[in-house]
């Protein structure tokens, strides 16, 4: 009885089809144009849409790093053939720096605490100026970004180096780095979500807000990883490497974190609703009346119940078509969730959705898509040097 | 002791899991009505080798969970809004968000307990009338038991033919014999 453990066919890199790349490039141009037009037509809408998509795609990229680092930390075997795809999402992280630099010019339009006239005479906002001021805001965000960029550079660098050397010590190094990253991630991502989204209404606060944003981050990142996996499998890149047992595990993850998101979302809602304190309840008042009510209802029915019932059966989690469909739906649902966090602060009558929102979203998705496609064109789509890869090919439930 | 009425089947021993898997497949394909495999640790692929269908327990869990969920909602609605309407902080009597934690708890409780009961039922447990056939199957050996209605002769010949290292008939023994 001989088992050859080291014979894994390297599927190599992946070059996205040319029309697809052209489409992404068009998206970028369209996005830049609409943002420029939007700034002159309706700066509030343009900036609201900008911070919305900035946060959404930043979360997606960070989610890739988060997923990869929990795999290193736990020494997971099942995820070895698809971990590189979660790493590919982080290719967008350096561009978060650029998009934050642009966001800097929108601080005045977005955040009431940055306007001295608004703050003056309001004892609560005056009391918060030590924390909520432009200088400190920028420092906190840049610090967070520096942490994420550093760890993605080192850990994903290690992973890519392993493709060539196959040195298992690189896995061990990442295993040691992961907990450090995860602790710093918890702090920096909480602070980023407090800063970028929660402070849109500087009066309001919710201590669970960071966890809520994290739940959405992981929800969307798992969907993105799933979508990439199914797509590359359909392109014949992962045919021998990813079988339905891997998809099943990914599906369980998506199912579990659908429930986790609902759990965290409800925890935030119920405590505020039950206590009904004026300083807390305004956030939900805005979102439970006017047309925002329907968006809130969508979050319950669409973001939670739909993936829950679609993914509950075993056969659905083992079917790549069902998984891909649910993954697309989850990505859209998360986008609507971030919209629901941002827009009610500016438009109390209901969601505003027009060419500015579409254009800016397309622009961001174009840039995101190009960075991920470039990563996959330059690097192997599978962590071919991973010591757990060979074992993972025989993964069975 | 070796009287015919206590005959419980014929057991064959194998030295390693692959041999047992292969033997199990052959027993399955030979259409023996009742048989079972014993291993000291879980062996992948055994379910398929034995021809066991997917468990029906998840359906029990789902339906039971749904019942717990609906019961918890109905009961809280009935107590809070119908039988003894209570004004809590000026909120409506039927304030469903306040019911959700109890609805969740009862979903999990009813689903969990029903899963346990269903598992025992489907596995025909607890069974106090069976004793271990041989201590070695909890240690390092792999065994295959062919039970009646297969006759002793038929089962012995088949097990020897598919390469069991040791074959012997076993007789019912129980704690409450």
**CB-CB under 8 Å, A269 with B58:** no
- A100 — phi, psi (to 5°)? -70, -35
For residue A69, what pLDDT band results from cuts at 50, 70 and 90? Answer: very high
pLDDT mean over B97-113: 96
Q: What is the pLDDT of residue B129?
A: 67
A330 or A238, which is more confident:
A330
Q: Cβ A266–B89 below 8 Å, yes or no?
A: no
CB nearest to B97's CB, from A269, A312, A396? A269
pLDDT category of residue A2 using cuts at 50, 70 and 90: very low
pLDDT at A193: 97
Q: How far is A319 from chain B (nearest CA, A)?
A: 17
Q: Is A378 on the interface with B (CB under 8 A)?
A: no
B interface test, pick of A243, A274, A297, A299 with most B CB neighbours within 10 Å: A274
Q: Tell if the CB–CB gap between A396 and B62 is shorter than 8 Å.
A: no
Q: Does A308 touch chain B (CB under 8 A)?
A: no
- Is pLDDT of A23 > 90? yes
Mean pLDDT of chain A: 94
Mutate to test the interface with A, among B22, B57, B88, B97 (most CBs of A within 10 A): B97
Lowest mean pLDDT: which of A24-28, A306-310, B146-150? B146-150
B119-167 pLDDT tens trace: 999 988 887 766 667 778 888 889 998 888 888 888 898 988 888 888 9
Interface of B with A (CB under 8 A): 18, 44-45, 54, 58, 62, 89, 91, 97-98, 100-101
Q: pLDDT (tens digit, 9 = 90+) per residue, B65-103?
A: 999 999 999 999 999 999 999 898 889 999 999 999 999
Chain B residues closer than 8 Å to A270 by CB? 97-98, 100-101
Rounded to the nearest angstrom, the minimum Cα separation between A330 and chain B is 23
Strand partners, B11: B145, B168
8 A C-beta contact, residue A161 and residue A170 = yes
In whole angstroms, what is the distance from residue A160 CA to residue A64 CA?
Answer: 15
Residue reference for tokens 């990142």: A221
What is the model's pLDDT at position B1? 43
Q: What is the pLDDT of residues B78-88, one digit of tens each?
A: 999 999 998 98
- Is A276 close to B89, i.e. CB distance below 8 A? yes
Provide the percentage of residues in chain A whose pLDDT is more than 90: 91
**Ranges of each domain in chain A:** 18-387
Reply yes or no on whether the pLDDT at A186 is more than 80.
yes
- The 10 Å Cβ neighbour count of residue A146 is 12
Most confident of A11-15, A336-340, B159-163: A336-340
Cβ within 8 Å of residue A182, ≥6 positions away: A66, A69, A70, A73
Q: Is B171:B9 a contact under the CB 8 Å cutoff?
A: no
Cβ contacts (< 8 Å) between B91 and chain A: which residues?
Answer: 276
**Do residues A202 and A110 make contact, with C-beta atoms less than 8 angstroms apart?**
no
Return the CATH architecture of domain B4-50+142-171.
Answer: 2-Layer Sandwich (3.30)
Tokens of B177: 């014999």
Stretch A76-94: mean pLDDT? 95
Run of H or E including A280 = helix A278-288
Residues carrying CATH 3.30.70, chain B: 4-50+142-171
In 3D, which of B18, B72, B16 has the Cα closest to residue B46? Answer: B18
Chain B contact probe: residue of A245, A255, A273, A395 with most B CBs at under 10 A? A273
- C-alpha closest to that of B65 among B99, B119, B106, B111: B111
Of A32, A40, A49, A53, residue with least CA distance to A347: A49
Q: Which residues pair with B144 in a beta bridge?
A: B12, B37
State residue A149's pLDDT score. Answer: 97
Please tell me the distance from the alpha carbon of residue A250 to that of residue A256, in angstroms, as a whole number: 10
Q: Is A1 in contact with B18 (Cβ distance < 8 A)?
A: yes
Q: Are strands B7-14 and B166-171 parallel, antiparallel or unpaired?
A: antiparallel
Instruction: Read off the tokens for B7.
Output: 């005959």
pLDDT of residue A379: 95
Region A352-356: mean pLDDT is 94
Peptide bond into B149 cis (omega under 30): yes
For residue A314, give the chain B residue with the closest CA.
B58
Chain B: nearest CA to A209, how far in angstroms?
19
Residue that is written with structure tokens 């470039």 in the block:
A374
In chain B, what residues touch A314 (CB-CB under 8 Å)? 54, 58
In the numeric block, which tokens belong to residue B51? Answer: 């021809």
Question: In terms of C-beta density within 10 A (0-12 exposed, 13-18 middle, 19 or more buried), how is residue B175 classed?
Answer: exposed
pLDDT of residue B125: 86
Return the pLDDT at B177: 44
Beta bridge partners of B35: B146
CB contact under 8 A, A273 and B89: no
């Amino acid at each position: 009885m001989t088992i050859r453990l080291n014979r894994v066919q390297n599927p190599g890199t992946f070059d996205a089809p040319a029309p697809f790349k052209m489409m992404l490039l068009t998206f970028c141009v369209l996005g830049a144009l609409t943002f420029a037009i939007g700034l002159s037509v309706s700066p509030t809408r343009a900036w609201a849409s900008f911070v919305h998509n900035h946060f959404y795609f930043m979360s997606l990229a960070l989610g890739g790093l988060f997923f990869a680092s929990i795999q290193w930390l736990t020494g997971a075997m099942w995820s070895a053939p698809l971990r590189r795809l979660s790493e590919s999402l982080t290719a967008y992280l350096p561009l978060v720096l650029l998009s934050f630099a642009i966001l800097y010019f929108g601080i005045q339009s977005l955040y009431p605490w940055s306007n001295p006239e608004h703050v003056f005479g309001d004892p609560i906002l005056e009391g918060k100026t030590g924390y909520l001021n432009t200088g400190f805001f920028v420092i906190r965000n840049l610090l967070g970004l520096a942490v994420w960029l550093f760890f993605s550079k080192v850990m994903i660098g290690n992973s890519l180096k392993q493709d060539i050397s196959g040195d298992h010590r690189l896995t061990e190094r990442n295993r040691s780095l992961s907990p450090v990253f995860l602790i710093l991630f918890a702090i920096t991502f909480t602070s980023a979500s407090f800063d970028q989204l929660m402070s849109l209404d500087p009066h309001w606060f919710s201590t669970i807000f960071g966890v809520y944003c994290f739940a959405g981050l992981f929800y969307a990142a798992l969907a993105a990883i799933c979508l990439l996996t199914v797509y590359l499998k359909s392109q014949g890149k992962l045919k021998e490497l990813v079988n339905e047992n891997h998809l099943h595990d990914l599906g369980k993850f998506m199912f579990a974190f659908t429930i986790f998101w609902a759990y965290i979302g409800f925890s935030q809602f119920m405590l505020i609703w039950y206590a009904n304190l004026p300083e807390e309840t305004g956030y939900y008042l805005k979102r439970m009346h006017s047309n925002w009510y329907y968006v809130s209802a969508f979050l319950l029915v669409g973001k939670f119940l739909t993936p829950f019932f679609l993914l509950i059966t075993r056969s659905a989690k083992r079917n790549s078509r069902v998984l891909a469909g649910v993954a697309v739906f989850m990505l859209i649902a998360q986008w609507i969730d971030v919209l629901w966090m941002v827009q009610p602060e500016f438009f109390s009558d209901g969601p505003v959705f027009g060419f500015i929102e579409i254009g800016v979203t397309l622009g961001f998705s174009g840039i995101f898509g190009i960075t991920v496609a470039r990563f996959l064109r330059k690097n192997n789509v599978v962590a071919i040097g991973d010591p757990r890869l060979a074992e993972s090919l025989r993964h069975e439930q | 002791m070796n009287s015919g009425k206590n005959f419980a089947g014929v057991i064959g021993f194998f030295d390693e899991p692959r041999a047992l898997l292969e033997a199990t497949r052959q027993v399955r394909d030979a259409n023996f009505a009742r048989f079972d495999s014993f291993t000291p640790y879980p062996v992948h692929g055994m379910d398929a080798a034995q021809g066991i269908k997917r468990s029906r327990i998840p359906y029990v869990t789902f339906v039971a969970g749904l019942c717990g969920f609906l019961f918890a909602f109905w009961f809280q609605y009935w107590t809070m809004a119908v039988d003894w309407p209570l004004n809590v902080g000026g909120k409506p009597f039927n304030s469903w968000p306040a019911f959700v934690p109890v609805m969740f708890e009862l979903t999990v409780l009813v689903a969990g307990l029903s899963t346990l009961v269903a598992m025992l039922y489907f596995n025909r447990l607890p069974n106090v009338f069976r004793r271990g056939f041989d201590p070695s199957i909890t240690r390092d050996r792999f065994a295959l038991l062919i039970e009646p209605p297969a006759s002793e002769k038929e089962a012995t010949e088949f097990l020897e033919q598919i390469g069991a290292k040791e074959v012997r008939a076993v007789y019912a023994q129980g704690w409450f014999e």
